[in-house]
Amino acid sequence: MLSLEASRTGRQFQRYDEGCRQVVGCIPYRYKKGNQYIEDLEVLLISSQKGQSFFFPKGGWEIDESMEEAASRETQEEAGVIGFVECQLGKWRFQSKSQNTIHEGYMFPMRVTKELDSWPEKNVRQRIWMSVDEAREVCAHPWMKKALDEFVRRLVLQQQKEEENQTSCAIQFFRTEEQRIVGIGAQNGEEEVGLLPC
């Protein structure tokens, strides 16, 4: 269970790989009007603590948690949202501007189920829902923009697959119904018409 009282601090439990600090984060998302279409997709960005830039919530992956647990914790601490963490979008190496070190970042989509009224970093960050195009425009980290592009690519593929399945089911229903009608005709001595294979 995640604590709502304070953000974790300190680096004593941080994970490193070949000298790179490992960080994890989420692209929190929702659909306007309940429609699951790309054009209705919104993503949640947060401000930096000084309020000068926007990006997706992320932070250190610690040794006592899985990647998904760390991504969920960081998103709750920084953005005040809870949801379902989905399949990893990828891994990116980037240079931290503040520490001048190389980090390894992992990003996950998070389907938001709840927005909290109070969360650990509420007083130092803003959160704002944006369209994908707006988020791509204002996101301060190029590696996070790549994660967003990968997320959208997957959603588009999923939507296309679902549309193909719906079309396939409709065609199959039509052909099954047509076969039933032709079969009845054949029983009545009428000529049976063959159907083209799918």
Q: What is the pLDDT of residues 149-174, one digit of tens each?
A: 999 999 999 888 887 777 766 566 55
Spatial separation of the C-alpha atoms in residues 155 and 193, rounded to whole Å: 41
pTM: 0.76
- The predicted pLDDT at position 8 comes to 55
Per-residue confidence at 198, pLDDT binned at 50, 70, 90? very low
Average pLDDT over residues 24-44: 89
Greater model confidence, 95 or 125? 125
pLDDT of res. 89: 95
Residue 26, both tokens: 């989420």
Say how many C-beta atoms besides its own lie within 10 A of residue 38's C-beta.
14
φ and ψ at residue 32, rounded to 5 degrees: -70, 145
Read off the pLDDT of residues 7-28 as tens digits, 9 standing for 90 and up.
555 566 787 887 788 899 999 9
Beta-carbon contacts of 52 under 8 Å, excluding residues fewer than 6 positions away, are none
Between residues 118 and 38, which one has the greater pLDDT? 118
Give 190's pLDDT tier (boundaries 50, 70, 90): very low
Asked if the model's pLDDT at residue 35 lies above 80, the reply is: no
The CATH class for the domain spanning 16-155 reads alpha beta
User: Is pLDDT at 128 greater than 80 in this prediction?
Assistant: yes
The closest of 85, 42, 44, 97 to 61, measured between CA atoms, is 85
* Burial label, 165 (beta-carbon count in 10 A; 0-12, 13-18, 19+): exposed
For the chain, first and last CA: distance in Å? 50
Of 13 and 61, the structure prediction assigns the larger pLDDT to 61
What is the pLDDT averaged over residues 87-108? 87
